[in-house]
Amino acid sequence: MYIIIALVALVFVVLTGIVIARLQNVLKSVTPSESADAEPSGNRWNGALFIVILIVGAVTITWSYLHAREFFLPTASSVHGRRTDDLFWFSMGILTIPFILVNFLIFFFAWKYQHKKNHRASFYPDNHKLELIWTIIPAIVMALLVFTGWKAWSDITADAPRDAEVIEITGKQFNWIVRYPGVNDNKLGDYNFKLIDAQNEVGIDLSDENSFDDFTNPSEMHIPVNRPVLLKIRARDVLHSVFIPHMRVKMDAVPGMPTKFWFVPDKTTADMRAELNNPNFDYEIACTEICGQGHFSMKMRLIVEDEASYKKWCAEQKTFLETYPEYLAKVPENLKAKAMKYVPAEAASPADTSATSVGSGAVTSSLR
């Protein structure tokens, strides 16, 4: 280790010597100007060009902003999203003022104070009053921006309300899988990556009775309007990122490290279609982390609807056990009686039915 450090230090010393030697050659080639008062060639043209660039740049920037406005996202469809937008435009407004002022003075002063014969610049070695002004004012402004941003971020990343609708979204190459907690409760069952297979794509753990009424959907996500929605985010293989632009939702999906994001949508899909006068509008969930050759295809339709429509849709979905009744075999014996109501009667094997009858008889006997 010491030998490596010594070699690195030696390399730096040699490089420093080379730079100093070359700098000496450059300094020797520099000769003082014959006349300090002689006007440099093209001085006036250069000064005028600063004003031209200032005007052309201002016009170009203004046109660029006005032209790009039609491509901006519409007003956010979530409560925190509008707060985020307000903070963004507030920050842009605060920072644009000094940006315009400083750049105007740079170009204007370059023209106004261009080289003139017999002109001598005034020199102020220090001005404590000015130093205090340009130190304290920016410090206060920056503290204000940091505090407001930190407060908004803290609220967004805080624990979700207890009545939040809990939904799990898992990213895999190259699609999203959404798991819902069913209609009997608002609790997702446990999962275990070791249980993942061709049908059980998110590793639903059927040893947890909260999993019995869970159902999955790999094609679209439904959420209720005007209710907190807690997204529990996972990744099966590589890094992904959940992005719902109209909701201003973005959170990485990291393998082995579950993340979350909660928000309150307050515009249904129908509301947005009417607002944009676009009957084909749909919210979209996209992946914003390049995750392989099929990254472009990681899109999912998001449907925001009223509470009644959402509950009706959930009630129409088949539970995981109803879709794949063969997984009843993986349910512990003491929980099969509870799991059976989520499995079609014709799909239950005689062994399962017998076990359930025995279990029901034992329960009846104990009650007597």
pLDDT in tens, 249-302: 999 999 999 999 999 999 999 999 999 999 999 999 999 999 999 999 999 999
Quote the pLDDT of residue 39. Answer: 65
**Mean pLDDT score across all residues of the chain:** 85
CA-angle at 91, arms to 87 and 93, nearest 5°: 115
Query: In the structure encoding, which two tokens stand for residue 284, read together?
Result: 């979209």
pTM of the model: 0.74
Residue 356 CA: distances (Å) to CA of 59, 77, 274, 364: 78, 48, 52, 12
Residue of higher predicted confidence among 109 and 24: 109
Quote the pLDDT of residue 41. Answer: 73
The answer to whether 339 touches 324, Cβ cutoff 8 Å, is no
Quote the pLDDT of residue 302. Answer: 96
Residue 70 pLDDT exceeds 70: yes
User: Which helix (H) or strand (E) covers residue 174, if one does?
Assistant: none
**Residue whose tokens read 């907690």:** 181
Minimal CA–CA distance to 261: which of 178, 156, 172? Answer: 156
d(CA 114, CA 46): 9
Burial of 146 (0-12, 13-18, 19+ CB in 10 A): exposed
Residue 368 pLDDT exceeds 60: no
Burial of 179 (0-12, 13-18, 19+ CB in 10 A): buried
Quote the pLDDT of residue 320. Answer: 92
Q: In sequence order, what are the residues at sequence separation of 6 or more whose Cβ sits closer than 8 angstroms to the Cβ of residue 251? A: 231, 233, 241, 242, 259, 260, 261
| Every domain of the chain and the residues it spans | 80-114+128-158, 165-349
d(CA 298, CA 170): 11
The answer to whether 328 touches 339, Cβ cutoff 8 Å, is yes
d(CA 241, CA 298): 10
The answer to whether 298 touches 287, Cβ cutoff 8 Å, is yes
Q: In sequence order, what are the residues at sequence separation of 6 or more whose Cβ sits closer than 8 angstroms to the Cβ of residue 203? A: 191, 192, 193, 194, 195, 196
The SS3 call for residue 186 is coil
Query: In the structure encoding, which two tokens stand for residue 165, read together?
Result: 């609708």
Alpha helix segments (H runs only) across the chain:
2-29, 43-68, 79-112, 128-156, 269-276, 307-316, 320-323, 336-339, 350-367
Q: In sequence order, what are the residues at sequence separation of 6 or more whose Cβ sits closer than 8 angstroms to the Cβ of residue 161? A: 228, 262
CATH 1.10.3720.10 fits 165-349, yes or no: no
Interaxial angle between packed helices 79-112 and 43-68, expressed in degrees from 0 to 180 and rounded to the nearest 10: 170
The residue-averaged pLDDT of 35-48 equals 73
Residue 367 pLDDT exceeds 60: no
| pLDDT single digits (tens) 174-208 | 999 999 998 777 889 999 989 999 899 999 999 98
Residue 1 CA: distances (Å) to CA of 7, 11, 26, 308, 344: 10, 16, 38, 68, 68
Query: In the structure encoding, which two tokens stand for residue 317, read together?
Result: 């979905």
d(CA 242, CA 223): 15
Minimal CA–CA distance to 265: which of 251, 245, 241, 288? Answer: 245
